[in-house]
Amino acid sequence: MLVTRAKSTQELEEVTNEALSLLEKRITDFGLQIAVEKTEAVLFTYKYKYTQPAIRLCGGDIQLSTEMTYLGMVVDKSMLFKGHVKRAAARAAAIGNQLARIMPNMGGPREDRRRLLSSVVHSVLLYGAPSWAHTLEIVPGNVRTLNRAQRRVLLRCACAYRTVSEAATNVIASTPPADLLAKERETVFDQRRGPAAPTAGNVPRTNTMEAWQERWSTEESGSWTRRLIPDVRPWCARSHGLTTFHLTQFLSGHGCFGQYLHRIRKLDNPRCVDCLAPVDDAEHAIFVCDRWWRRRMELKVTINDTFTPETVVGKMLESQYNWTAVEQFVKEVLTKRESEERERQRQE
C-alpha cells in the first residue's frame, strides 16, 4: 500500500508517479510483475470539486475509485466510512437472520446464551470501530444504520415482538446502542496505545453507561419501559434474573393486551375482556385488573412490599427470589390471556 499527500493536483501527480516508478523498479528487480488491472487508487479529499490527478503505473493509467477495501474495511474518498458501515450492517443483518432460526421467541436458548450468539453480530457490526467511530458524530446516517442492524438481533435476544421500539429493545436486552459501543471501543484502543492509566477500573464502560442513561432519560419512545426501568445501570449490572418471552411482553407493553392487540388490528377495541375497563394495557393487566387481585395480593406478601410500576423492577433486582416470584405471576397472567384469546379467535 502506497500513501502520498500533496497540497495541489499537480504536486500530487509528481509525488505519486515518482513513488510508483521507484516501487515498480524495486518490484521488477525481484523478478515479480505488477498486476495493474488489480491496482486500486483512491483520492482522499473533502472537496466536492477537484481535478483528478493522472496516475500511471507500468505505462498504463490507473483509474481512481471512490472507495477501496483494506484489511476488511471499506475506506471511501471522504473518510466518512459510509460504505463500510452499510456493508457491515448488511453482513451483520444476514448473520442475525441465520441466528434467528435458532432463537425463536417461544422456547430456544436462554437469554444468556442468546446474548452470546448476538456477540457474533456485534463482532461483525463493530469491526474496525476504532478507525471509524469518530465519524458517528458528523454522519448521523451511520448511527441509524448501526443501531437498526443491532436492533434485529436484540429483538431475538429479548424475545420481543418486532413492534418494540429500538430504545426499549436495547434496555430490555441490557445492551448499549451500537454507536455507543463503537465509541467505547475507540476509547479502549486509544488508551492501549497511550501511557498506562494511573487508575484502575472500567472507565470506558462507565462512560458508555452514563451516555446511554442520558439518552434513555430523554427518549420519546418506550415510555412504559422507561417507567419500569428508569435507570439502565442497575438493570444491566444485575447478577441474577433472565428475561423471557412473557416477561418481555410485560416490560415492553407489547403483548397480549387489549390496547396492543387493537393497535395491530387484532381486536376491534382496546377494552379489557375480563373487567371491561376501557383500556387494557400492560399496567392494567398486571397491576389493576380485578381478575388477578388475589394472586396480586399473594405476590405483595411474597416480595414484602407494594406492587407498582415504579417499584416492581427494583424489587426484582433485590433477589432471585423476588425476580422469580414476579416472573411467575406475569407468566401466569399472560399465558392464561393468550390461551383465552386463541380460543376467542377460533370461535370467530
119 and 41 within one domain: no
Question: Above 80 in pLDDT, residue 199?
Answer: no
Average pLDDT, the chain: 92
Query: What b/e readout covers 69-87, taking b as 16+ CB neighbours within 10 angstroms?
Result: eeeebbbbbbebbbbbbbb
86 and 217 within one domain: yes
193 and 54 within one domain: no
Q: Is residue 289 part of a domain?
A: yes
Q: What does the chain come to in residues?
A: 348
178 and 46 within one domain: no
Question: Above 70 in pLDDT, residue 22?
Answer: yes
Structural domain harbouring 270? 255-347
CA 150 to the chain's CA centroid = 3
Q: Alpha helix locations (H) across 107-257?
A: 111-125, 129-132, 140-157, 166-172, 178-193, 203-217, 223-228, 232-236, 245-252
pLDDT band at 196 (very low <50, low <70, confident <90, very high): low
pLDDT attached to residue 208 = 96
Question: Above 70 in pLDDT, residue 161?
Answer: yes
Q: Is residue 177 part of a domain?
A: yes
pLDDT band at 125 (very low <50, low <70, confident <90, very high): very high
**110-124, 196-210, 243-257: least confident range:** 196-210
Question: Above 70 in pLDDT, residue 198?
Answer: no
275 and 203 within one domain: no
Q: Is residue 61 part of a domain?
A: yes
173 and 115 within one domain: yes
Boundary residue ending a domain (202, 233, 264):
233
Boundary residue ending a domain (37, 65, 93):
65
222 and 269 within one domain: no
pLDDT attached to residue 55 = 87
Question: Above 70 in pLDDT, residue 201?
Answer: no
167 and 140 within one domain: yes
Q: Is residue 246 part of a domain?
A: no
pLDDT band at 337 (very low <50, low <70, confident <90, very high): very high
Of 9-18, 66-75, 315-324, where does the model show the most confidence? 315-324
204 and 89 within one domain: yes
337 and 306 within one domain: yes
Q: Is residue 104 part of a domain?
A: yes
Q: Is residue 81 part of a domain?
A: yes
Q: Is residue 116 part of a domain?
A: yes
DSSP 133: G
pLDDT attached to residue 49 = 80
Tens digit of pLDDT for each residue in 41-77?
A: 888 887 778 888 888 888 888 888 888 888 899 988 8
225 and 97 within one domain: yes
Question: Above 70 in pLDDT, residue 200?
Answer: no
What's the rounded mean pLDDT across residues 291-320?
A: 95
What's the rounded mean pLDDT across residues 290-307?
A: 94
Distance CA 122, CA 2 (A): 31
Q: Is residue 42 part of a domain?
A: yes
The residue written with cell numbers 422507561 in the block is 226
pLDDT attached to residue 184 = 96
Number of structural domains, the chain? Answer: 3
Beta bridge mates, 56: 61
What's the rounded mean pLDDT across residues 123-147?
A: 95
225 and 78 within one domain: yes
What's the rounded mean pLDDT across residues 26-36?
A: 86
CA-based end-to-end distance of the chain: 69
